[in-house]
Amino acid sequence: MDSLANLGDILGLIAFAAAVLVTIATPSSEGSTFNPTTKGIMIAAFGTYVYVTGAKVLGDRLAGTYIENFDDYIEVLFPVLVLMAVFAAYSHQQMLDLQRSQRAVKRSYDMMLEIVDAAASGMMLLDSFGRITFANDTARAFLDLGETPDTGQIQTPGWTVKCGDQEPADDFRGLLLDGRSEGIPVAVVWPKGWRVDLRVSVSPLSEDSGRIGGYVASFERPSRI
């Protein structure tokens, strides 16, 4: 029985020491579930048992020394280190999944933006006050829209907008209707006197709460007068 016990200790020592070396030789990277943190903790976990089995193999030679007395306490680290290793791997996996989904969303957003910019129609997003928050390339070119460098907010060249019978305003507040509408007559007048007559279609955007969070407005390119 004693020889079986000794064999187990020696086999354990050699195998755990080899496991430490193999883990050290395994490349880790931030782009993999086997990241440097997981690797470090795995080395520590296997190393714990190199110590424990090593102390058992040396046995009598260590009797009464700190090394022998510590092995019971060192052993308790193993399950805790294993938990830390799996948790580090799991957290890293979650982070990688999140980064992948963010990249997919960005690719999808960039593609939609290219489609919208390539459209011949002018397209705009209006906030709940009628201010332009987004305009595609056609709308930007046609309405002379610029952008504030710091904030990216859209700037108008100072034109006024008259929607139907409403009073002229410096934004599209006249388009803020409860439902979807098509062919609303809109006159845009530049400070220099240019005037453009548009037929605008507008559709409200609902937020998760059901409230209207903004509007999508689109128009075909007319000719300037």
Partner 1 sequence: MVTAPPISEIARLVIALAVLPFIFRVARQIRMSGTSGPWFAITIGAVYASYLFTIIESFVAEPLFNALQHSSYGVAGVAGLLTAIETRRQVLEERLR
Q: Is 175 in the site for partner 1 (CB under 8 A)?
A: no
Q: Is 82 in the site for partner 1 (CB under 8 A)?
A: yes
Residue number, 80 or 113, with CB nearest to partner 1: 80
Minimum CB–partner distance for residue 58 and partner 1 (Å): 14
Size of the site for partner 1 (CB under 8 A): 47
CB atoms within 10 A of CB 74: 15
Q: Is 218 in the site for partner 1 (CB under 8 A)?
A: no
Write out the binding residues for partner 1, residues 113-142 only, by CB under 8 A: none
Q: Is 79 in the site for partner 1 (CB under 8 A)?
A: yes
Write out the binding residues for partner 1, residues 24-63 only, by CB under 8 A: 25-29, 32-34, 42, 46, 49, 52-53, 56
By C-alpha distance, which of 159, 110, 135 is closest to 219?
Answer: 135
Helix (H, G, I), strand (E, B) or coil at 133: strand
Minimum CB–partner distance for residue 10 and partner 1 (Å): 8
Minimum CB–partner distance for residue 51 and partner 1 (Å): 12
Contacts of 204 (CB under 8 A, 6+ apart): 177, 178, 179, 180, 212, 214, 215
Residue with the two structure tokens 């906030």? 127
Exposed/middle/buried for residue 210 (C-beta within 10 Å: 0-12, 13-18, 19+): exposed
Contact assessment for residue 19 and residue 52, using Cβ atoms and an 8 Å cutoff: no
CB atoms within 10 A of CB 6: 13
Contacts with partner 1, residue ranges (CB under 8 A): 1-2, 4-16, 18-19, 22-23, 25-29, 32-34, 42, 46, 49, 52-53, 56, 72-73, 75-76, 78-80, 82-83, 86-87, 89-90, 93
